[in-house]
Amino acid sequence: MHGVFNAKSEDEVSDFIYENYNKKNPLEIVGHNSKRIGRIIQSSHTMSLRSMSGILEYFPEELYIKVLPGTPMSEIESILKDKKQFLGFEPNDLGYIYSKKSNAGSIGGVVACNLSGPGRYKNGALRDHVLGFKAVNGSGAKIKSGGTVVKNVTGYDLSKVISGSYGTLCAITEINLKVSPIPEYEETFLINNINYTEALNIFQIALDTSLEISGACYFPHDNVTFLTLNDVKKDTSALGLRIQGPKTSVLERMQTLKKIFKDKSVIILDLYQTLIFWREVKNLEGYANTEECICKVSLPITNMRNFLKHFEQAKYKYFLDWGGNIAWCLLSNQEVLSQMRIFCLKHDGHLTVLRAKDDLRRNDEFLTNSNPNLRILSKKLKDSFDPRGILNPGKMYAGL
């Protein structure tokens, strides 16, 4: 069994990678090892960044925080909450689907996987909140990009490149993140008893208004038990629209939604219920007590409608998030997964496997994207950052 090297500083990360670069030894880069995402790789050694933990700088008035990669998400979210701030992209806590309990792991892992929850629709993805970073590339060289303020740059925005690279380009050693004020108040406008076609129409209507919807999800009738709130009916579908901001403004916008959808069956979830509702959505908590495969299907709205129709007779469960742009799917049939991949390839889509049995993770695809240029770009970036291909080889794509 190969050993684990616990790096404690950027210099140690650099020296260890340089040593293995010279020996052409493949390395597995991990943080808290809480996210079993991606293909299982073969490596000579594992380098853990868990010991590189801590908050280096936090200036609430400047809306940014600088942290080491092994810093637990719970620590970051706690210190932000004390100052009534949060991470606007609302990162998923995938501990529920892997270990049936909360375990968000480290910030380095969250950035490497580009994890973005319901807030992604309004506030942008994680990669839009990374202001800068330090890292070590595949030859052991230290690199730095960005800073502590939002600004436009020419050429590659490396913060966006490393977000979602799954440790295949570099080992992150420091991260600067934009933070946001916690909304003063929030409520959820819940519409019951609609099908997916009506849901997608409602998303389009609501999100085209000036009401600043900050969350939009839909659960079909056969998956609404995913949600635990007593006020959420368990015998019919549920579509949630979240509104956040000053309390007076939230209440006024809720009244506007009532007028727009006056012919629908509606329930209003208060502040306390709203927090629970969107936490369950964000963390996929309803998929915790099963070992079935979980994948995320991303499609343009028009193609999502066709996707749901195409798989109406398939045995799987799903719910929609990001205003209908993604479907979180739970399925046990690998043939259905293969068919979903084919659909995405043909319809401008993207499929990511979040949870699967080890045999599938060894032998099957993890990422499926309809744009072949992305794989070509990934290869060029890999060659540039990691010329000998030693960092998490094969994690994203076989042979890459």
Which pLDDT band, with edges at 50, 70 and 90, does 385 fall under?
very high
In this structure, are residues 283 and 96 in contact, taking their beta carbons and an 8 Å threshold? yes
φ, ψ of residue 346 to 5 degrees: the values are: -90, -15
pLDDT digits (tens, 9 = 90+) for 185-230: 999 999 999 999 999 999 999 999 999 999 999 999 999 999 999 9
CATH topology of domain 1-182+372-400: 3.30.465
Burial of 152 (0-12, 13-18, 19+ CB in 10 A): exposed
Residue 156, pLDDT score? 54
> Maximum Cα–Cα distance for the chain, whole Å?
68
Strand-pair partners of 354: none
Topology (CATH level 3) of domain 185-282: Alpha-Beta Plaits (3.30.70)
Task: Place 83 in a pLDDT band, splitting at 50, 70 and 90.
Answer: very high
Q: 26-69 pLDDT, tens per residue?
A: 999 999 999 989 999 989 899 999 999 999 999 999 999 999 99
The predicted-structure confidence for 317-372, as pLDDT tens digits, reads as follows 999 999 999 999 999 999 999 999 999 999 999 999 999 999 999 999 999 999 88
**pLDDT, position 224:** 96
Strand 293-298 with 326-331, pairing: antiparallel
Classify residue 23 by burial, with Cβ atoms within 10 Å: 0-12, 13-18, 19+: exposed
pLDDT at 288 over 70: yes
Residue 1 pLDDT exceeds 60: no
**1-182+372-400 and 185-282 in the same fold:** no
Rg (CA), the chain: 21
By percentage, how much of the chain surpasses pLDDT 70? 97
Is residue 151 predicted with pLDDT exceeding 80? Answer: no
- Domain borders along the chain are 1-182+372-400, 185-282, 290-369
CA 64 to chain CA mean position, Å: 20
CATH of domain 290-369: 3.30.70
Q: What is the pTM (predicted TM-score) of this model?
A: 0.94
Kindly state the percentage of the chain with pLDDT values over 90.
90
**Tell me, what's the pLDDT at 360?**
92
